[in-house]
Structures are given as C-alpha cells and as structure tokens.
A and B are shown apart, each in its own frame.
Chain A
Amino acid sequence: MTDDELIWRISGGSGDGIASTSQNFAKALMRSGLNVFTHRHYPSRIRGGHTYTEVRASSDPVRSRGDGYNFLLALGDSFARNPQEEAVYGNEEIKPLSENLDELREGGVIVYDEGLLDASEIPNFEERAEENDWHVYPLDLRGLARDQGREVMRNTAGVGATCALTGMDLDHVQDLMRDAMPEKILEPNLEILQIAYDQVREEYDVDASDVSVPTGEHDEEQLLMSGSDAISYGAIDEGCRFIAGYPMTPWTEVFTIMTKNLPKLGGISEQVEDEIAAAALAVGASHAGVKAMSGSSGGGFALMSEPLGLAEMTETPVVLVEAMRAGPSTGMPTKPEQSDLEHVLYTSQGDSQRVVLAPGTVEEAYEQSRIAFRLAYEYQIPSILLYDQKLGGELVNVPKSHFDREPNPTLGKTLSEDALADEPHSPDGKFHRFQHDVEDGVSPRSIPGQKGGRFLATGNEHSPTGHIEESPDNRVAQIDRRTQKLEAIRADLDQEDTGSYAGPDDAQYGILTFGSQQGTVEEAVDRLNDAGVSVKSYGVSDMLPFPTAQVEAFVESVDEVLVVEMTASGQFRGLVQKNLGRYGEKLSSLLKYNGNPFEPAEIVDGFEAAVVEGDGDASGHQTTFVPAAGD
C-alpha cells in the first residue's frame, strides 16, 4: 500500500457500462502519468446483478488490486431485480452502495446516485459514515443525465463528480471521450461531465477529504493493456495466423481479439461447433503448415483432451490457451481461480508430453505467449498457456517499448523440398518423419504438398515413416525420443528467465506462487520487509517442464515457505512436492477460492499467521491454511 494512491471503485449493475467507463477512467489516469491496475468483478448475467471495477492508481508501480478502496462511485443497478424478502440474491437495488462497504477505507469518499439508490435502506448508514469518517455525496446523477437527454450518461456525470472531488483535471478525461465516443453522443457527454464537475465544486467543499488523485510522470509511452490483449499480440508476433474456437468465458476475450485482428493480417479465424473441433482444427491447420492456436476455459478445455493427445503423439506443433475460472463443472463462470492446473498438466491419456506456462503479469503474458509458440514449433509439441479470469481481464499500464520486437514466423525444424531430398526415405519413397535418433528428440518434418515428404501422421504408436508399429524396440525408442524433448525444453527455458523473484536474496522465509497471484505476492513481500519480516518470493511460470532445480534452490535457502494459490486443494503445492520429492515439512499453503483474488494485506496477514506466528489461524479473511504434510 502506498500512502498516496487512489483506489476508485465504480459499482452498478451488469449492463450499466461499468467496464467501459472504468476503462476510460483508468486510461485517463495513465495518460496523466500514473501507474494503474484494475480489478473487475461481475456476475454471469447480461442485464443486472452487482458488478464493480476498481481502478488503482499511484505514482509508484502497482502490481495488484489494493486493500479495499478509498473512493466509491455507486451508480445503482438499473436492471436490478425487485427486492423480495429472503431473496437469495438479496436486495440488488441497493448493492452498488451496500456491497463490501466495510472495505471502504477510513476517510474514504462515497458518491452515490440518489436518483437510484436510497441510503436509508442500508442499516446504520449514517452512523457508519460518521464512525469511519467517510465523506458522503448524494448526487442525483440520473436526474442530471435525464435533463441532458440520456439517462445512460449518469456514468459520465459520476466521473465528472469524481474529478471534482479528487482534484483531477478534466483534460485527460475529455481527450479520452473524444477518442472513444462517436460524434452523436460526444457533445452531450462532454457537457454533462462539465456540469457535474462544476456543480460539485459549487455545492461542496471539495477539499474536505484527503482522497485525491496523485500526480506522476512516465518516462516513456505507456499502453493500457490486459492479459488477453498481451497473449493475442504475442501470438500475432510469432506469426500465428489461424485460430479456431468456441465461445466460453473468460477465454472468449483472446478469441475475439484474434478474430478481430486476423483478417487484417490475411489470417483465418474459425468459430466452430465445439471445442473438440476447435483443437482439432488447430492441429489440422498446423499439420498443413500454418502457425495455429486454439483455446478455451475449463469445461471447453476438457473437450480438447483428445486432440491435445493427438498433437502430442503426432508431434504437431500447436498452442492452446486455457483461461481458468472457478470450477468444478460450470463453477463460477466470471470468477477467477487457478484450479485447472492439474487438469491442464495431466488431461488426455498416456504420459503427458506438453509444455505448460503460466505467466504472472500482462508483460509476461506477451512474452510467454511468444515462448509458447517458439517452443511448440521448434520442438513439435503442444504448448499450453495457462492463465485465468484475473490476468485475462485486468488492465495495467505497460511501456510501449515492451512490444517493439521482431516478429518470428519461423516454423522450426521444417524441411524445404531441397532439404527433404537429403533425408532418409523408405524404398517406396516414404519420408522418415519420425526418426529414432535425432538431436533433442526433434525429427524434422515435412508439409503436405511437398515433393518427397509424404508420411502418415497417426495417433497410434508408429514407425519412422509413421506407420502403425507396436514392436517393443520401436515403442521404447519413440516414447524415449518424445520424452527427451522435454529435457531439451527445460534447458531452453533456463535461458528464458521466466520466473519472477522479489525480496532480499538472503531472506529467512519464502513465498512460492504461480501465475496471476505473482504481483499481489510481490507487493505483500515488500510490505513484510518494510515491517521487518525477512521474506522473498518466487513466482513460478514453467509448470511443465518444471524448474525443479530453481525451486529446490529457493526452498533450500529459507527456513519455511508459504505456497500461495487460488485453489482449494493446494494443487500447486502438490506439484512442487511431486517435483522436489522432499522439503514437505517446510511448506504450508495459503489458499483462496471464494471467487475473488487475494488482496495484498490478506497475504501479509496470512503469512504472519502461518509462518511468523505459526498458528495457522487466518480468521477474518476467506482464506485457508493447510499445514505442512511432511515428507
């Protein structure tokens, strides 16, 4: 937590424009020179249902959602269901103001739309406001918007009020509206922004609270980008020009970004009948010589198990992305979780021969999307990029220069017709596509249509020409060769530096995590060190092949390790123990699986309770500790 930060929460109903308004506001803050990070929470509904986005802004780097928030813009849920006594969803009409109100920090600001929200319905609202020194501004945003012609503009009015109360210039917001809004609605929106801004400044003492927009400056051009954007751009820069998919939250984001952009690049996107087909199409396109991808979320990825195994057995390069959400089954479609880890590592029959990478940040999402493609094509193996609803949807500022890199459309060990002529063939002309003894286990491939390259790709165990062959010698030679690729990939990944370390090298304690929790863990590590606790963290990205040596060195170097993950069963800790084979007595788990990502303070408190105090009691947070299992 920095002292000088704004955590602005805009809340309303699904379909009220919370996402677009918050995105524009985050970008305005970024353009003003600040670092930003967004956290979104929404239901699996089109119209209505409590939804909010938090925009955290600071001149210091921000790598996580914050602890609670200090500014609430409660717009009201215009599609709320009528409140009924004992309704399972509660009183939706008041939720934008009432939900998580306890997390509003002391001295925080509340702006709410009194045209839609009645604060008297919230128990003890006034007393709570007084107790917590909240500054409350009931504004008739809906009425204001209605007067200007369109009720939906109350979002803009709320942003105007926010600017007035936080001392933020309207310039950046106005610029953004000019960029984002069509002519027809731009003028009335600019007008209502100004009216709300002026009205608040006239009617209230805008300096009453300490909450204000910090000031900052970037030393290079910044972009506001999500993990889904970054994954897509990574794929494009690796020459991926084919995607096939079926809609499923939250993977749909990558699918739509790719689908929008591929035609501009002469590429192909296919929306198909199911995820079995989607993965099979990616395999077919890659077999025919195109860099291809598919992807899904948990349930859809389950359907991809067989094509995934086919890609492993036929050594067809392909990249799949898996956007995790809370499971099992349909689970909680719009809520983040990391509990597909084991599913992705082990699904499909036989021994897994795949790469699984779990990026921790938006920047890593771009890098590791590129690495996933490079490894898939160089080593003829499926690569899976494992991320989640959190990383896919969070918006952060990233320097534009991060993306200023050369494209890499190469297909890996793929032979030209000239080169094919020098490779081994059977007397009948069949190319030896799957040779036993080759460097790193990678046997060069041909592409259909090439002269001198014909072979059979099959999901059966096969001979060097690809024909079905079950002799023990061939079986062992082929499976050993395919497995050998993983060792080569491990050595390759050791050069890529995919892991992320924070905290002092000689720290007494450690925190291990994977994927999207990395930024939050690193913020917690900074705070713990500031508070005198000696701790470091390692955010692991390579799930398969696992960086056993690095993780072992990390665990070896500290007294105790807390493993932080969003699963209920400690899947990542299990993976660590499986690969290390010892050190079980050093590990304990901090788990969260209630549908919301960790806040940094939860990790700080959890660490202190589990490791420093050692009592494993984390009451107050919906987190769970799991004590060490021993070796």
Chain B
Amino acid sequence: MSTFSAIGDEREIDRDEYTPGVEPQPTWCPGCGDFSVLKALKQALPEVGRTPEETLLCTGIGCSGKLNSYLDTYGFHTIHGRSLPVARAAKLANPDLEVIAAGGDGDGYGIGGNHFIHTARENHDMTYIVFNNEIFGLTKGQTSPTSPKGHKSKTQPSGSAKEPIKPLSMSLNAGASYVARTAAVNPNQAKEILVEAINHDGFAHVDFLTQCPTWNKDARQYVPYIDVNESDDYDFDKTDRVEAAEMMRETEESLYEGEVLTGRFYVDDDRPSYGAEKQAIGEMPDEPLAERYWDDDYEWERSHDMFLDKHA
C-alpha cells in the first residue's frame, strides 16, 4: 500500500461522503448563508474528483471556521486569521493534496489581512473562500472590515467612520490569479465558481457573500444578484488587469448601493503557481516532501558528510 493512497484515487465520489454521520450537525442559524458554502463545496469536490481524504480544509475562527466540522475531509481548524499560512505550508509539504482555506471577512480581511496579501502575492495553488457577511457573527454582531461606512453596532455606536475594505481590488493588487465573487443565494453559480477555483493552478480567491440573518438583518439578502459575465450590461475582459480592476471597483461600490454584482472578475491562467516558481529556482523538490519520510530506500543526508569541511 502506498503512503498516501487517497491521493489520485480515481473513482466516482458521492457527495454524502463529505457529510459526517449523526454528529456534528451544523450549528449555524436558520437562514444562514454559510449553509450554501457547505453545499456548494459538497457539489464541487466530487465534480473536480477530489476525495475527502485527499482534501485538506483549513479554516479560521468564527461561524465560518466551523465549516470543516461539517465537511468530512481532513481538516485543520486553525486560529483567527491564520488559516492561510497553515494551508500554504501543507501545500508546499505535499503538493498532491487539494488544499482549501476558508474563513470570514474579519478573519481574512481584518486580522489575517497580512497573510491574505502575501499568500495572494505568492500565488500558491490553493482556493481561499471568504465568507463575507459584512459583520462579526459569532461574537454577536460587531462591525467588520467589510461593514459599510456608517454601520452601527455596539463597537461602533455612532456608526463606523471607516470605508469598508475592497476585497476584490485588494486581491488583484496583491497578486491573486483568480478572483471571483459569488453569493449564497446563487447556488449554481457558487458551485461553478468553486469548481473553477479548485481547478485553477494558482491562488484562487472567492469572496462568498453569505447573509447573516441574525446580526445583519438590515443588510440585503444579496438579491437580486447580477452575474457580470452573463449580463449584457457589463462588458469587460476578465483576463485584462485594467478592465478587471475597473469592474471590481464598480462592483465594490455598488454593493453598498444595493446592487449585488457577482461572477469571475480576474483570471490569469498563465502565471505559474508558487510551487512551480520555487521548483524552477531549485528550492523545492520535484517529489512531494511528505512522501520522503515513508521511503525506506531514501538515503538521509548527514551534516557530517555534507557541510563540515568548511569548518575544518
């Protein structure tokens, strides 16, 4: 039996394989947009042909962080804002794994913003799903990085004086090679975008609008939505950085005016992933490093044989 025989296992996959047994059952509130992410992932993973045991889902902290309690793959529920550094290292250690990271807008655009920028910049071959509900949910309704200016909460009682983060633009500028936005109310598009994101060879960022019916009642339920790739009202080239940037800016502004624009905003299929870049300069092995520890024939190098002469 090989070391990681779940990897590359070519077979039909039933979406129920990703559903845990009796427990744990999702603890999200009725009507929560997070259910849609779970459902879309359960649809997308069989379609791309990745089994539960060749998938590693790394999450942050918050309602969104509970995703991997309810998706029965290998999971790492990390710490607030740090899903990306854990996930990208796992990908470097074993590039054959399907690595997906997920977290909320506070997690990814607030406390983890530095990691988001640098993981996008490095273009790791992984998918990053941000549950964007414009609010801190699990801590009970505080203003988040994507809450609109003027948003009132117990931590911003006079209404937030801050402009919200522009996640799509930030992602493009940082270097993500696939940037999309979808919404919980749009299950078919969500599944299709996740399939593309997982198949994309590079850092695929999906800003997933997930309504919070408990703490963000005032916010729109992200309907009606418009798919900018389908609509005749929008004409832009998603492979062109300048046009993509303009489309993103319009999308980010219009969200706060009640218009929900979704779709693929930027796709660069030519840029090599970080792993490929690192291999090209000789700083990453061709074979997955994780395999080596199980190779009985591997001759482990010793410092005594390799590095001591210069000290003599």
Residues of A near any B CB (own CB < 8 A): 221-225, 229, 232-233, 236-237, 239, 241-242, 244, 261, 263-270, 272-274, 276-278, 280-285, 287-292, 306-307, 309-310, 314, 400, 403-407, 409-411, 416-418, 426-430, 447-460, 466-468
Contact = CB atoms under 8 A, between A and B. Distances in A.
Interface in B16-44: 20-21, 23-24
21 contacts: A236-B301, A237-B303, A265-B306, A273-B115, A284-B76, A284-B85, A288-B91, A289-B290, A290-B293, A407-B300, A407-B301, A411-B293, A448-B74, A451-B5, A451-B6, A451-B53, A456-B76, A457-B76, A457-B77, A458-B77, A468-B66
A221 B311 CA distance: 11
B89 A284 contact: yes
B25 to A, nearest CB: 11
B290 A282 contact: no
Interface residues of B, number: 69
A265 B306 CA distance: 10
Given A224-B312, A270-B89, A417-B5, 5 more contacts: A242-B289, A430-B72, A451-B53, A455-B75, A459-B78
A472 to B, nearest CB: 18
B151 interface: no
Contact of B289 (A241, A277, A451, A453): A241
B115 A284 contact: no
B238 interface: no
Contacts of A426: 21
Contacts of A460: 77
A263 to B, nearest CB: 5
B54 to A, nearest CB: 6
B24 A241 contact: no
A20 B87 CA distance: 40
A418 B3 CA distance: 9
Interface string B90-117: 1111101100000000000000001101
Contacts of A310: 78-79, 82
B78 A261 contact: no
Contact of A239 (B1, B3, B97, B300): B300
Contacts of A270: 89, 92
Given A280-B82, A289-B290, A428 B308 contact: no
A223 B283 contact: no
A270 B278 CA distance: 10
A309 B61 CA distance: 15
Candidate in B66, B89, B94, B287 with the most chain A CB atoms within 10 angstroms: B89
Interface string B271-304: 0000000100011110101101110001011111
B181 interface: no
A217 to B, nearest CB: 16
B93 A242 contact: yes
Nearest to A366: B303
B86 A468 contact: no
A449 B290 contact: yes
Nearest to B281: A263
B1 A284 contact: no
B236 interface: no
Given A310-B79, A427-B21, A280 B86 contact: yes
B219 interface: no
Contact of A233 (B76, B87, B117, B303): B303
Contacts of A264: 306
Contact of A288 (B5, B68, B290): B290
Contacts of B264: none
Candidate in B9, B290, B306 with the most chain A CB atoms within 10 angstroms: B290
Contacts of A457: 75-77
A456 B71 CA distance: 10
Interface of B: 1-7, 9, 20-21, 23-24, 52-54, 56, 58, 61, 66, 68-69, 72-79, 82, 84-94, 96-97, 114-115, 117-118, 278, 282-285, 287, 289-290, 292-294, 298, 300-304, 306-308, 311-312
Nearest to A452: B53
Nearest to A428: B21
Candidate in A276, A288, A457, A466 with the most chain B CB atoms within 10 angstroms: A288
Contacts of B278: 268
A314 B88 CA distance: 18
Contacts of B79: 280, 306-307, 309-310, 459
B296 to A, nearest CB: 11
A405 B92 contact: no
A307 B58 CA distance: 14
Contacts of B293: 239, 289-291, 409-411
Contacts of A273: 114-115, 117-118
A466 B78 CA distance: 12
Contacts of A451: 5-6, 9, 53
A467 B76 contact: no
Given A409-B300, A416-B1, A400 B89 contact: no
A449 B6 contact: yes
Contact of B69 (A267, A448, A456): A456
B63 to A, nearest CB: 13
B74 A400 contact: no
Candidate in A407, A448, A454 with the most chain B CB atoms within 10 angstroms: A448
A306 B302 CA distance: 33
A454 B74 contact: yes
A272 B290 CA distance: 21
A246 B243 CA distance: 36
Nearest 3 A-B pairs (CB), nearest first? A284-B89, A428-B21, A449-B4
A459 B83 CA distance: 12
Contacts of A225: 311
A551 B96 CA distance: 49
Given A223-B311, A266-B289, A277 B21 contact: no
A42 B162 CA distance: 45
B7 to A, nearest CB: 5
A285 B82 contact: no
Nearest to B302: A407
Contacts of B118: 272-273, 277
B89 A283 contact: yes
Contact of A448 (B56, B88, B292, B312): B56
A455 B74 contact: yes
Contact of A287 (B3, B86, B284): B86
Given A236-B303, A284-B76, A457-B77, A449 B69 contact: no
Contacts of B23: 467
Contact of B54 (A263, A277, A449, A456): A449
Contacts of A229: 311
Contact of B285 (A233, A266, A467): A266
Contacts of B93: 242, 268, 284-285, 288-290, 292
Contacts of B298: 409
Contact of A263 (B88, B90, B282, B312): B282
A268 B85 contact: no
A281 B94 contact: no
A47 B83 CA distance: 40
A288 B285 contact: no
Nearest to A236: B303
A285 B74 contact: no
Given A290-B293, A455-B74, A263 B307 contact: no
B64 to A, nearest CB: 14
Contacts of A292: 89, 93
Contact of A277 (B85, B294, B308): B85
